[in-house]
Amino acid sequence: MKFVILLDIFFELLAKRKVTATYLAQKHELSIRTIYRYVDLLSMCVPVFVLQGRNGGICISDSYKLPVGFMTKEEYESAIEALSVMYSQIPEERFLAAQRKLSSRIKSEIRNLTLSGEIGSIIVDSSSWGDSRFQEKIRLTENCIRDCSVLEIDYRSRIGETTKRKIEPHTLVFKQGIWYVYAYCRKQSAFRLFRLGRIYSAFITGETFTKRTFKREDIPLNYWSNEVESVNVLLEIRENAFADAQDWLGVENLQKRGENWYAELFLPSDETLVKKIIALGDGVIVKEPNDLREKVKLQAQKIAKLYE
């Protein structure tokens, strides 16, 4: 019963962002003091807090959303199908409303990960800690976008092959710590995303181009994650990695249990995750799932052998 009430309070907050203790007490036929005890339990893993005063109430952080990958596409479809069956037997509006919400979440879950890109809302410092040549590459690309200048680049593939291309840069993209330029490739007669780090050399040809019309949705921003399954990961965070873990996972996802900090959330299960964990050294320990533990262990062993 306690678990059911906790879930109900959680989903009420997700839907309304703020509710009163009186409302929850009346709904569950409990005392206000008991409701606050439930809120205390919930606050151990979700950013829930109480605002005092006339317009106060029990609130959940506006930045908190159910994590992407919380349910797979198949699980969403099964839930929607179950709601449809329930509505056919008990034709109540609440089942239709829940079905509509789940349907819209499938379509919006990935799309909502991207920023608006409105001018003035974002400042990105492209400078590096060391060599400034990469920064110059970004500045060159930015100038070509502004001046509609054609760039001739030597571009190296993932396996190291170099090809010469003429591109028409349209916009810079920053994704998962990597810079890209979205440009029209004259060789392929189509728009492509090019990693700036793989551009060996770039020259302004002296040619200009007319900007082509494209929509934000045309840029394959979700290319990296569409086919990657997310898994529930439990990490133990040690003191020497705590600051980096906050930057990576978000402070709202870190909870202290006894003397240690932990993070439990859904993360894309791919090579990038293993590399990120390895990069934090002995400051992060994978507790679950076991197959991720083994991947990290195997990668660490491979690294250790290089220094034998």
- Residue segments in the chain with a per-residue pLDDT below the cut of 50: 110-111, 224-226
Look up residue 131 and give its amino acid: D
pLDDT value at position 69?
57
Sheet holding 18-19, edge to edge: 18-19, 57-60, 48-51
Per-residue confidence (pLDDT) for residue 126, from 0 to 100: 59
pLDDT digits (tens, 9 = 90+) for 98-136: 666 666 555 555 445 555 656 566 666 655 555 556 778
Residues 273 and 240: their CA atoms lie apart, in Å, by 19
| Residue 95: per-residue pLDDT | 67
* Residue 218 one-letter amino acid: D
* CA–CA distances in Å: residue 196 to residues 48, 129, 137, 174, 223: 41, 17, 7, 10, 17
pLDDT at 166: 95
Q: Are 90 and 99 in contact (CB under 8 A)?
A: no
Distance from C-alpha of 171 to C-alpha of 214, rounded to nearest angstrom: 11
Paired residues of 163 in beta bridges: 155
Predicted pLDDT of residue 120: 60
**First CA to last CA distance, the chain:** 56
SS3 of 43-76? CCCCCEEEECCCCCEEEECCCCCCCCCCCCHHHH
Q: Residue 216 and residue 114: Cα distance in Å, rounded?
A: 10
Cα–Cα distance between 137 and 200 in angstroms, integer? 10
Distance CA 209, CA 187 (A): 15
Count of other CB atoms within 10 angstroms of residue 147? 11
Q: Which residues pair with 260 in a beta bridge?
A: 257
Q: Which residue has the tokens 């569950």?
A: 28
Provide the pairing of β-strand 230-237 with 199-208.
Answer: unpaired
